[in-house]
Amino acid sequence: MRGFFVETITYALGMKRAAVFLDRDDTINVNADLPEGAWEGVKWGDLLKPEFAVLMPGVKEALVALKQAGFVLVVITNQGGLARGGGTSRDVEAVNDALRRKLNESGEGVFSEQLIDGWYFAPHHCEGCVEPYCCDHPWRKPHGGMIRAACDELGLDPAKSWMVGDKQRDLDAGMDAGIAQEHTIQVGPNGTHADLMAAAEEILTEPEGSGGEVASDPKIAAGTRVVLKSTDDAFVPMADGRTREMVEAVARGIAERTGVVIHELSCDEKKIEVVIGVHRLGALAFMAQLRRDTNRWHERQFGTALWSVNKEW
């Protein structure tokens, strides 16, 4: 999440923020592969028992990386089990609460903040039997009503946002609400990406996704190499030696605070390059934090951001 100083400027200017909208079942948590006990008394797939709330592998790391890069994270989920009489809104919230706890339990450093900014669910189904939910509704995917509501309530811009889900209806809901087709990603066995971690990696490495350019290489023996550099050939953000020293000091401070090991660190007039002992998404999150913190420092000292800013983000 962006720092308080940046957020204050954003709201004052009336700018809307970029978000990643996320399906819930089989995108964030396991659903299709749950044991039979999860479906006692309900239709298969209607997850209404919090004891069966299990995160999919890599989800927490992916969400941390997206959050650290400045995206608002919003879950939108169809919950037709309410229309079918399998449970109530309290059951849906109980599952959501269980997932919240798992996403934030035992957190330290960048893992400690509340990751999901909003949870929306549509209890409707046209084949249901419970009033008033036994109908289609603008909120039910593939309609984009939940996304529109979140954009209005949280100050989000669908044109800058992404939609990630395991079914085509998730992608259709995003496009119905104004998210570009190229910003919709289907995960899972029928998708283009294996899981949320793979989707997050694409989002984070898109050129428009950061103020400076964050480039990364595959893991090497010592860790993951990441480079934060200016995207403007004529711009040398760290021409001043004192600025380079400050950027290095901030990087080492973030590492100490979050428990990340820095194996190598080098800095010149246009970039900082770091090899750190975390996976690729964690490395991208580290550099997003570095970009944000050093921009804040430079704005306080000199009135301008250190790294070039993409105004579309």
Which residues are part of the catalytic machinery?
A: 23, 25
How does DSSP assign the chain, residue by residue? ---HHHHHHHHHTTPPBPEEEE--BTTTB--TT--GGGGTTS-TT----GGG--BPTTHHHHHHHHHHTT-EEEEEEE-TTTTTTS--HHHHHHHHHHHHHHHHTT--GGGSS----EEEEE---TT--STTTSS--TTSTTS-HHHHHHHHHHTB-GGG-EEEESSHHHHHHHHHTT--GGGEEEBSTTSSBSSHHHHHHHHHHSGGGSSSEEEE---BTTBEEEEEE-S-TT--TT-SHHHHHHHHHHHHHHHHHHTPPEEEEEE-SSEEEEEESS-HHHHHHHHHHHHHHHHHHHHHHHSS-SS---TT-
